[in-house]
Amino acid sequence: MITLSGVHKTFGPNAVLRGVDLTIDRGTSMVVIGGSGTGKSVLLKSILGLVTPDKGVIALDGQDVRKAEREAFLARFGMLFQGGALFDSLKVWENVAFRLMRGPLARPKDEARETAIEKLRRVGLKPAVADLVPAELSGGMQKRVGLARAIAAEPEIIFFDEPTTGLDPIMSGVINELIREIVVEMGATAMTITHDMSSVRAIADNVAMLHGGVIQWTGPVAEMDAAKDPYLQQFIHGRSDGPIESVR
Amino acid sequence: MAQVMAPITAALAALGRPVLASLAALGRMTIYGAQTLCHILRPPFYAREFASALLNVGWLSLPVVGLTAIFTGGALALQIYAGGQRFSAEAVVPQIVAIGMVRELGPVLVGLMIAARVTSSIAAEIATMKVTEQLDALVTLSTNPMKYLTVPRVLAGFLCVPALVGIGDIIGIMGGFLVATGQLGFNPASYIKNTVDFLQTADVVSSLIKGAVFGFIATLIGCYYGMNSGRGAQGVGGATKGAVASASILILAANFILTSVLFGS
């Protein structure tokens, strides 16, 4: 279980997070929604320790993440980055097997390559892709490779940062389906940040809306449409009129 | 009185701010350098990244170093010959070319060429990795970016640049030799003999020491600026520009300090 209590983060004069409280239960899929620039990525990166919160506590299974042994802590996570964040200098299979060739999870090269190809197959990519470099792939394929990398070491917690941004609707649907299948199959805890409502409906067990630096609404995805929160309703229906200012 | 002092204070403050900012930046670079040195000694070591850095810093820099050195050596021979004629000392061309190349021009020019070619590419590469979240990805994959990116490059710079300086020295002397023997009428055998007889071990050692220090500076500064770049294309451009400028200045400053230490007495 991941618990965030009173998390604050400020960048210069810009207070991005102003006391975020959120709980993500083990084995569930939480999707955090919110407009661009509301701090969704900062929230996600704060949990991983890529951004240090100014105030507040982030705990994983009751333990403050700042006190956790870094390598063991990170070994529990997999992450799909918005742009894929694949390493340009490495081949596709080396990207996927990155964690399997270094550190405590290191295994022989052939075995790591086999696992990488198996994960590529799992995300719908042919083994021939394995020996290409990321620059030779389309955006959708790069996302899939990123997804394969995120699940390669079979982590217990997987984060997805804007998994469908920049993809066409069909590819978005494919990625959403893959994420759902993988999370269910692996029994993983998932946290996704997105502003794509079709992703929310496809992936989420629970939804949290981040607005004004705090969690504005949180609840099961099934209750989202019936919720009375005007911020949430404006956001999920994509209306320009409402409490959320369209010009920021 | 306060009214009189106000503009003077403001002017001094305006002058002081960039000085303080530069000193702060130098301090951060020094800390970064110390952290890098600590990481060099501690595992894990990334052999493949180190080999790739050796190739990029060393082998791929050879053409630019060679061309720079040969033209500089040739120009130096012409200048010394022309200058020497003023007091009938044309015969010292081999000795002055040798000492000029080995003690000063070889290391400095190679250092500056490395700053232009390697520092810029390291800064741009790492800054792009930062902008595209590849550095964050490294962290989430339990890999320390300093160990994976900085250490192999800095170690490669520290080891390769002295070799490049040595090669640059030889090619520079050969440039002088070609001009002196082909254009200025020097005897090839006596030119080589004069060069070899005049050079001392200390000259060569100082050249290699300078190369190691310049290699360390050039690669470290590239990594530092890359890791601390701003956002977007402008951030990458700024990091590259800043890295080359800082590395060049620091190399020239280090050259002065090293020359003072090695030959000051």
State pLDDT tens for residues A121-130: 988 899 999 9
Least confident of A72-86, A168-182, A197-211, B206-220: A168-182
**Among candidates A75, A89, A149 on the partner chain, residue whose Cβ is nearest the Cβ of B142:** A75
CA distance A126 to A135: 17
- A192 forms beta bridges with A31, A160
Number of domains into which chain B is organized: 1
CB of B134 less than 8 A from some CB of A: yes
Cβ neighbors of B161 (< 8 A, separation 6 or more) are B57, B58, B110, B111, B114, B211, B212, B214, B215, B216, B218
Q: Taking a C-beta distance cutoff of 8 angstroms, is the pair B126, B149 a contact?
A: yes
Cβ neighbors of A51 (< 8 A, separation 6 or more) are A9, A42, A45
Q: Taking a C-beta distance cutoff of 8 angstroms, is the pair A1, A28 a contact?
A: no
**Among candidates A81, A89, A103 on the partner chain, residue whose Cβ is nearest the Cβ of B142:** A103
- B206 forms beta bridges with none
User: Model confidence over A40-51: pLDDT tens digits?
Assistant: 999 999 999 999
Residue A16: what pLDDT?
Answer: 92
Determine the structural domain holding residue B60 and report its residue range. Answer: 51-263
Q: Taking a C-beta distance cutoff of 8 angstroms, is the pair A58, A119 a contact?
A: no
Q: Is B46 inside any structural domain? A: no
Mean pLDDT of chain A: 90
In this structure, the number of other CB atoms found within 10 A of the CB of residue B82 comes to 11
Domains of chain A, first to last: 24-51+62-76+155-248 (3.40.50.300), 86-148 (no CATH)
- A209 forms beta bridges with A33, A217
In this structure, the number of other CB atoms found within 10 A of the CB of residue A167 comes to 19
Which H helix or E strand runs over A179? helix A169-186
Tokens 């081949």 appear where? A91
Q: Which two tokens stand for residue B205?
A: 């050692």
CA distance A213 to A18: 5
**Among candidates A50, A86, A89 on the partner chain, residue whose Cβ is nearest the Cβ of B136:** A50
Q: Is B59 inside any structural domain? A: yes
In this structure, the number of other CB atoms found within 10 A of the CB of residue A201 comes to 16
Q: Which two tokens stand for residue B30?
A: 């020094």
A248 has a pLDDT exceeding 60: no
Strands A189-194 and A157-161: parallel
| Angle (nearest 5°) at CA A22 between A16 and A25 | 145
Q: Is B45 inside any structural domain? A: no
A66 has a pLDDT exceeding 80: yes
Q: Taking the complete model, does pTM exceed 0.80, yes or no?
A: yes
- Print the SS3 string covering A14-80: EEEEEEEEEEECCCCEEEEECCCCCCHHHHHHHHHCCCCCCEEEEEECCEEHHHCCHHHHHHCEEEE
B88 has a pLDDT exceeding 90: no
Q: Which of A42, A51, A52, A74 to mutate to probe the B interface, most B CBs <10 Å? A: A74
Name chain A contacts of B143, Cβ cutoff 8 Å.
Answer: 98, 102-103
Asked if A45 lies within 8 A of B136 by C-beta distance, the reply is yes
Asked if A98 lies within 8 A of B134 by C-beta distance, the reply is no
Complex ipTM? 0.88
Name chain A contacts of B52, Cβ cutoff 8 Å.
Answer: 89
A244 has a pLDDT exceeding 90: no
How many A/B residue pairs have CB atoms within 8 Å?
49
How is residue A119 annotated by DSSP?
H
Q: Is B157 inside any structural domain? A: yes
Name chain A contacts of B136, Cβ cutoff 8 Å.
Answer: 45, 50, 81, 85
How is residue A128 annotated by DSSP?
G
Q: Is B39 inside any structural domain? A: no
Q: Is B124 inside any structural domain? A: yes
Q: Is B250 inside any structural domain? A: yes
Interface of B with A in 145-204 (CB under 8 A): none
Q: Which two tokens stand for residue A99?
A: 């964690």
Burial bucket for residue B90 (CB in 10 Å: 0-12, 13-18, 19+): middle
CB of B140 less than 8 A from some CB of A: yes
- The alpha-carbon gap from B87 to the nearest alpha carbon of chain A, in Å, equals 58
- Residue B2 main-chain phi, psi, to 5 deg: -60, -35
Cβ neighbors of A83 (< 8 A, separation 6 or more) are A142, B132, B133
**Among candidates A75, A85, A103 on the partner chain, residue whose Cβ is nearest the Cβ of B136:** A85
Asked if B139 lies within 8 A of A102 by C-beta distance, the reply is no
Q: Name the nearest CA neighbour of B207 among B61, B77, B103, B60.
A: B103
User: Model confidence over A126-164: pLDDT tens digits?
Assistant: 999 999 999 999 988 998 999 999 999 999 999 999 988
B117-138 mean pLDDT = 96
How is residue A228 annotated by DSSP?
-
Q: Is B163 inside any structural domain? A: yes
Q: Which of A91, A98, A105 to mutate to probe the B interface, most B CBs <10 Å? A: A98
- A208 forms beta bridges with A32, A218
Asked if B136 lies within 8 A of A89 by C-beta distance, the reply is no
B79 has a pLDDT exceeding 80: yes
Which H helix or E strand runs over A192? strand A189-194
Who wins on pLDDT, A184 or B265? A184
Amino acid at the residue B124: A
Q: Name the nearest CA neighbour of A50 among A153, A138, A165, A161.
A: A161
Asked if A103 lies within 8 A of B52 by C-beta distance, the reply is no
CB of B51 less than 8 A from some CB of A: no
Residue A247: what pLDDT?
Answer: 52
Amino acid at the residue A44: L
**Residue B88, phi-psi category: left (phi > 0), alpha (psi -120 to 50), beta (remainder):** left
